[in-house]
Amino acid sequence: MQEQIVKLLAGMATAGIALAAASVQASPEQDRQDLVKYYTSRYPNIKIENYVHGALAFDPDGKAQYDAVMEFPPFESELDQGRKMWQTPFKNGKTYADCLPNGGTMIAGSYPMFDDVKDTVVTLQDALNHCRTANGEEAYALSDMNTMGRLTAYMRTLSDGMPMNITVAGPKALAAYEDGKKTFYSRKGQLNYACASCHVQNAGVRLRSELISPAIGQAVHWPVFRGGDTLTTLQQRYDVCFRLLRAVPPAPGSTAMNNLEYFHSALSNGLPMKASVFRK
């Protein structure tokens, strides 16, 4: 895989990096608009709202296969287990719905968010774990798909269709956003490429047999069920990308990972969430 990446990206123009450099001082909304203009200029026949389907926006046949799979999703049992976890009361009798805004419905599109009290980015998984510990329960491991994975997958279905609405307000929140932006656009690892190398410059290009998805729209559908019922979170996907570039990935839930997710998610503001979907 690494050799294929080298062949694909060798001699690549630096359009995406230049785009970032030109907008270093831009607002988060300007960053999003700049990318929208970039993608629509490059692919004028693809509507931005179709990017919620990731690489499938460039592949009508693949999208038709996806639609067929989603008629009878192979991961319904996983969601059922997540539903049971969501509805099962804690030892004190309370539930997740008791300690999350709006009973946990139509809120997932606002995560990650910057918590001014904690002075840090809080992901949806962080919010769920805070709910658990506040009610006397142990926190779930972020990497445990049997617990946190299933719970998050179901909880996000309660916000299906909600427009992404990541808020970046205040100097500390902006600093966290800019840190995530720096990670996204900075070259890293032995291959010396950035997230933007694939998902900006080469969005819509084939890497071996797979199309590369655009950065806009990527954050609306995680965690996803890959190959049937194998749950994968967004930060786990970051981890894979770091390793493909032969770079040491930050730990899941670290400041670096959370800030990257914060920036990345803000790029999809306004697009509807597509919770619990199938990906190859």
The CATH number that applies at residue 49 is 1.10.760.10
Has residue 160 got a pLDDT over 60? yes
| Whether residue 116 is found in the same domain as residue 252 | no
Has residue 141 got a pLDDT over 60? yes
Highest mean pLDDT among 11-25, 195-209, 244-258: 244-258
| Whether residue 265 is found in the same domain as residue 183 | yes
pLDDT reported for residue 210: 85
Answer yes or no: is 84 within a domain. yes
Given 127, 157, 187, which residue is the final one in a domain?
Answer: 157
Percent of the chain predicted with pLDDT > 90: 84
Closest C-alpha among 204, 183, 202, 205 to residue 194: 183
Q: What is the pLDDT of residues 25-55, one digit of tens each?
A: 679 999 999 999 999 999 999 999 999 999 9
Answer yes or no: is 34 within a domain. yes
| Whether residue 111 is found in the same domain as residue 44 | no
| Whether residue 64 is found in the same domain as residue 184 | yes
Which residues constitute the domain of residue 238? 2-72+177-279
| Whether residue 184 is found in the same domain as residue 265 | yes
Enumerate the active-site residues. 241
Percent of the chain predicted with pLDDT > 70: 90
Answer yes or no: is 244 within a domain. yes
Answer yes or no: is 164 within a domain. no
Has residue 242 got a pLDDT over 90? yes
Q: What is the pTM of this model?
A: 0.90
Answer yes or no: is 163 within a domain. no
Q: What is the DSSP code string of 151-214?
A: HHHHHHHTTTTPBP-----SHHHHHHHHHHHHHHHS-BTTTTB-HHIIIIITTT-EETTEEPPP
Domains contained in the chain, number: 2
| Whether residue 55 is found in the same domain as residue 184 | yes
Answer yes or no: is 169 within a domain. no
